Amino acid sequence: MKIISGKSITKQFGEGSERRTILDHISIDILQGEFVTIMGASGSGKSTLMYALSGMDYVNSGEVLFEGSELSKLKEEKLSDLRRARMGFVFQQPTLLKNLNLLDNIILPAVREKKLDRREIVVRAESLMDSVGILELSMRDITQVSGGQLQRAAICRALINSPSVIFGDEPTGALNSSSSQEIMNILLDINKHGTTVILVTHDAKVSAVAERIFFLSDGKIVSEMRLPPYEGTNVEDRVQRVSEEMMELGI
Amino acid sequence: MYSRIIINDLKNSKLISVTTFLFVAASAMLLALAGMLFINLTGAIDGLMMVAKTPHFMQMHSGEVDLERLEIFSESNDAIQAFQVMEFVNFESWDMVVEGLPFDGGIQDNGFIKQGRRFDFLVNLEGEIIEPKNGEIYVPLSYMREGSIKEGESVALYGSVFTVAGFLRDSQMNSPLSSSKRFLVSDSDFETIKSMGKMEYLIEFRLQDLDDLRTFETEYIAAGLESNGPTLTYRLFRVINGLSDGLMIAVIVLVSFLVVVITFLCIRFTLLARMEDDYREIGVLKAVGFHNSDIIRLFLAKYTVITFLGCVFGYLASLMVKDSLLEDIKLFMGTYHQTGVEVFLGIISAVVIFVIVLAYVYHVLRRIRTVSVTESIRFGAVQEHSRMYRSFLMSKSRVLNSNVYLAIKDVLGRKKLYWTMMIILLISICIMTLPINLLSTISSDRFVSYMGIGKSDFRVDIQQTADIQQKADAIASVMENDSDILRYVVLTARSYVVLGDDGRDGRLRIEAGDHSVFPIMYSEGRMPTEPGDIALSAMNAEELGKRVGDKITVIIGGEAVQLTVCGLYSDITNGGRTAKAAFSDFDDTVMWSVISAEVQAGSNLGSIVSRYAETFSYAKVSNIEEYVQMTFGSTIVAIRRASNVGILVAFFISFLITLLFVKMLVSKDRYSIAIMKSIGYNSKDVCFQFIVRILLVAIAGIGLGILVSITMGEHIAGLMISSFGATSFSFEINGIFTYLVCPALMLIAVYTATLISSQSVKSINIATCIKE
Ligand SMILES: Nc1ncnc2c1ncn2[C@@H]1O[C@H](COP(=O)(O)OP(=O)(O)OP(=O)(O)O)[C@@H](O)[C@H]1O
Ligand SMILES: [Mg+2]
């Protein structure tokens, strides 16, 4: 079943003679429960595509269907509700509110819902934080923790409402390899429990765990690679395949 | 290069630039206006008093005048330059018939007079000394203003018919605050009718040197000359002439001061916000070797342009508004011809504003020096937070709405930023409520009791006639049996000799009787209750050098009696020199008698007053409310106008500042707004957060502002009121306006502005703002 379906998405930036087409009639379908990555050179439009698919930014033409409803036709409030309840987003840099501590940042999307019980929200947040190893930091200000810990908190926030899709725009980009590995494990775990994961990455090792990999260049998807579902085995081999494809495409 | 950066910057921050410009312009306009009005007022008053040759010292006197003795006194006294006795013939309103109808002379003591011999001239609207022809009458200007009489109308007075030939300026009695009004007729007409009315003498002196006035006053009293009536001096005439317009100028100065403060706050918070925004940038600039002075110069250049334009515009605006405010001064006091001085003063005021605003901008900019290079690059603007702030947590609360929580957290976390906003709203509510409470105080019927008049319904004055005691008794006995009268009290005043501490004796008019029936307000001490008590008016206390508890020796019935000063009070009646005592003294030298009365609830005061006025034609019967209306009417009107303007100005200021503030906040907070949007908060949520934030600040500001306005405001207003001679004073608070209408208006202004400005939240694009 398709959870997201992009049809002929076109996105342009700039005005007049400086107008450039970043996404050029891209069509892409993502199935429920898939683990997908998007790769491409820096500036190739990966983030832009991600924002378009999640409805964070408008597209100039084409349409994006999320669970069957077209995002550009939704009212802002509907779109916000959808974003809050069904999607989680982890940005390239940690985006947390600086006047709240980690726990409050994490529960923020959930407490917007008046129906939910606060105690249950906090319990859930704490179990998420525990699973990514930042539980003891829950009362810290965001200026008092490391970048990797912030990114883990951002993942917890993305997961607090149990979304059906989680978007990650190079969530491990700013991290060292061991932190990076931990975060990938978390994402794989979530994916096992049925959450669709869409990641943007440069890193062949990251892409190696995906089932499908899209390669972006000059505003188009120039290649799509399928791998068997990741079981924790054949890691070297998978990385090898991705790297070869990257070389071939000159990424 | 500079000019390009400045123009770009002005374009990018239009609202900030426009607001700063407006406030600078308003400050410059108000200060220039105050300056120009002040010079016009004092110039015109001086001009009028110079042409009219206003007396330096004037004793009003009813009864016999020993001209020869006065002549001898004035010749023997070197200080005196000129001396004259003017005859002032009082007439009752109904004695004068204008175009067949009785004249509406209000509660003023109207009388006619012939032109002064040597000085004290009455002048026409052209500022020339009037020489009335036979059959002509000149009418005081205030009646032209009231419209009760017009030029060319015929006036019948004691059988003679006059034509109103014009209106006159009276350097002594122009003001509604002075209780007498002088009509001018020709010398021969005056002789014909003078025997018909009640004669009063104005014994007037001009001195060689005005500085000798005090000594002269004591010499006059010591000589035991005619003194049956109030004493007035040049200084008092000047004050009375300048009072109502002076009050207006004082209000303008006060408001301009507040607007300057708001301008400063506005500059402070726009600049600080800008600098906080540019914190990294400034740090980077410094890191790459820019000097502080370069950065300061850049900002300073921009503000120089805005401030200069604002001052020029404000000055031009003041020129346009000036004339309508000058109307009254020009009519009553005449034109001040030194336009050069006026223009100069206006320009100086604008320049003063220009200089202090720029000095302030420079002062704020100097903070750039404290931006440390490494810190700004690493953390941006860092703030320390209190433990309370840190323990106020969403996760700890069961029910608190998340938007409300985020709003409160933000306000607590950026107190400095919101502080400025709060102070501005605090000042605004003061601008609103101060004049309103001043107005309610002055128009309250208790206000007269601060002025030496007990709160009663009407009073009957018997003076300048024979057998005052008997007449007072007669009226009292009528009141005793009058079912309309609830209660009344008779106070009688006599003139007593006071033994001065320095051996020089003076005279003191003492009102004796029961002062507890219609009590007045005492600025210090209490009312006289025992026979040995005496209360002094502020002016008398000052002159005698007495305070509460001091002893004073008075000759009563030929014996020296020691009285203790038990209280001090302010008085505007009888030239401000009165005293009150509780002893009884039955000799026959009563100077005047006042009977105050209160009518039964529900009875028709107007008809009772006119009944007494008709029955006792020798007495002056006045309705207290009417008296207050006449005396303070123009002041009340002026303050009402000021309070209307105040409400408007404050509303506008709060609206504009909030508009600007929220707009800046939205732009400052666009990163966190994008974050909130990205996790599923919609624009309405964010707008609501802005409304909560601003309302929190507004409620704090309004609450504190009301507190300030009713406490400190009372002192400020007290200072203004004291110019009327009242020293003690407490606010009569208009509860509905102070606690309801004004706060509601402010909240509406702030709420609407927030709603409008926060709409820009909608256009914040998540993708763009998160990438920054
Ligand atoms: N708001 C914008 N206005 C103009 N151009 C933009 C804007 N946002 C992105 N671009 C341009 O669009 C192109 C794609 O940007 P995007 O952020 O999607 O790249 P990316 O593939 O995510 O790169 P990276 O790997 O460096 O994150 C870039 O060339 C960028 O300069
Ligand atoms: Mg990117």
Chain B (615-674) residues lying within 8 Å, Cβ to Cβ, of chain A? 672, 674
How much distance in Å is there from the Cα of A22 to the middle of ligand 1? 8
What are A140-166's pLDDT values in tens digits? 988 888 888 898 899 999 999 999 999
User: CB-based contact (8 Å) between B413 and chain A?
Assistant: yes
Asked if residue B380 has pLDDT above 60, the reply is no
Closest ligand 1 atom, residue A45 Cα: 18
How much distance in Å is there from the Cα of A201 to the middle of ligand 2? 9
| Structure letter (DSSP) for residue B659 | H
Quick check: B409 and A100 CB within 8 A? yes
Q: Are A158 and A88 in contact (CB under 8 A)?
A: yes
Ligand 1 proximity of A42 Cβ (cutoff 6 Å): yes
Helix B415-443 vs helix B402-413: crossing angle, to nearest 10: 90
Asked if residue B542 has pLDDT above 60, the reply is yes
Q: Which residues of B touch A143 (CB under 8 A)?
A: 379, 382
Euclidean distance between CA atoms B682 and B676, whole angstroms: 8
Asked if residue B375 has pLDDT above 70, the reply is no
Closest Cα in chain B to A84 = B680
Pairing mode of beta strands A196-200, A2-13: unpaired
Euclidean distance between CA atoms B267 and B312, whole angstroms: 19
Please, what's the largest Cα pairwise distance for chain A? 55
How much distance in Å is there from the Cα of B771 to the middle of ligand 1? 9
With tokens 């990999």, the residue in question is A213
Average pLDDT (B510-524) is 87
User: CB-based contact (8 Å) between B8 and chain A?
Assistant: no
pLDDT at B379: 45
Quick check: B680 and A100 CB within 8 A? no
Q: Are B733 and B439 in contact (CB under 8 A)?
A: no
pTM of the model: 0.77
Asked if residue B732 has pLDDT above 60, the reply is yes
Query: B463 phi and psi, to 5 degrees?
Result: -155, 165
Euclidean distance between CA atoms B529 and B521, whole angstroms: 15
Lowest mean pLDDT among A41-50, A218-227, B500-509, B763-772: B500-509
- Report which of residues B375 and B54 the model is more confident about: B54
With tokens 């604008």, the residue in question is B350
Please, which pLDDT band fits residue B145 given cuts at 50, 70 and 90? confident
Asked if residue B287 has pLDDT above 60, the reply is yes
Of A57, A83, A118, the CB nearest to B397: A118
Tell me the ipTM for this assembly.
0.94
What are B421-451's pLDDT values in tens digits? 899 899 899 888 888 888 888 777 777 777 7
Residue with the smallest CA separation from ligand 1 atom 16 is: A45
Asked if residue B665 has pLDDT above 50, the reply is yes
Mutate to test the pocket of ligand 1, among A48, A57, A203 (most ligand atoms within 8 A of CB): A48
User: CB-based contact (8 Å) between A249 and chain B?
Assistant: no
Please, which pLDDT band fits residue B132 given cuts at 50, 70 and 90? very high
How much distance in Å is there from the Cα of B279 to the middle of ligand 1? 25
What are B4-51's pLDDT values in tens digits? 666 666 676 787 888 889 989 999 998 998 888 888 888 888 889 999
Average pLDDT (A21-41) is 94
Burial class of residue B248 (count of CB atoms within 10 Å of its CB; 0-12, 13-18, 19+):
buried
Chain B (674-713) residues lying within 8 Å, Cβ to Cβ, of chain A? 674-685
Highest mean pLDDT among A52-56, B224-228, B280-284 belongs to A52-56
Euclidean distance between CA atoms A137 and B584, whole angstroms: 88
Ligand 1 proximity of A45 Cβ (cutoff 6 Å): yes
Mean pLDDT of all residues belonging to chain B: 84
Q: Are A219 and A22 in contact (CB under 8 A)?
A: yes
pLDDT at B354: 95
Closest ligand 1 atom, residue B768 Cα: 1
What are A80-110's pLDDT values in tens digits? 999 999 999 998 888 899 889 999 999 999 9
Ligand 1 proximity of A179 Cβ (cutoff 6 Å): no
Residue with the smallest CA separation from ligand 1 atom 29 is: A43
Euclidean distance between CA atoms A182 and A159, whole angstroms: 16
What are B713-722's pLDDT values in tens digits? 777 766 766 6
Chain A (24-83) residues lying within 8 Å, Cβ to Cβ, of chain B? 47-48, 51, 56-57, 76-77, 79-83
* Residue type for position B608: I
- CA-to-CA dists, residue A153 to A96, A124, A132, A161, A223, angstroms: 9, 13, 8, 14, 33
Average pLDDT (B298-302) is 82
pLDDT at B280: 61
User: CB-based contact (8 Å) between B387 and chain A?
Assistant: no
User: CB-based contact (8 Å) between B390 and chain A?
Assistant: yes
Asked if residue B376 has pLDDT above 50, the reply is no
What are B551-598's pLDDT values in tens digits? 998 888 788 889 999 998 877 666 667 899 988 766 657 778 889 999
Average pLDDT (B218-247) is 80
Query: A226 phi and psi, to 5 degrees?
Result: -110, 140
Ligand 1 proximity of A43 Cβ (cutoff 6 Å): yes
Asked if residue B377 has pLDDT above 50, the reply is no
Closest Cα in chain A to B672 = A97
pLDDT at B689: 96
Q: Which residues of A touch B763 (CB under 8 A)?
A: none
Closest Cα in chain B to A79 = B680
- Report which of residues B719 and B166 the model is more confident about: B166
Give percent of chain B with pLDDT exceeding 70. Answer: 90
Which of B679, B687, B763 has the highest number of chain A CBs within 10 A, making it the mutation to test binding with A?
A: B679
Asked if residue B709 has pLDDT above 80, the reply is yes
Number of A to B CB contacts under 8 A, please give it: 88
Please, which pLDDT band fits residue A37 given cuts at 50, 70 and 90? very high
Which of A22, A104, A115, A164 has the highest number of chain B CBs within 10 A, making it the mutation to test binding with B?
A: A104
Sign of torsion, CA A51 A55 A56 A62? positive
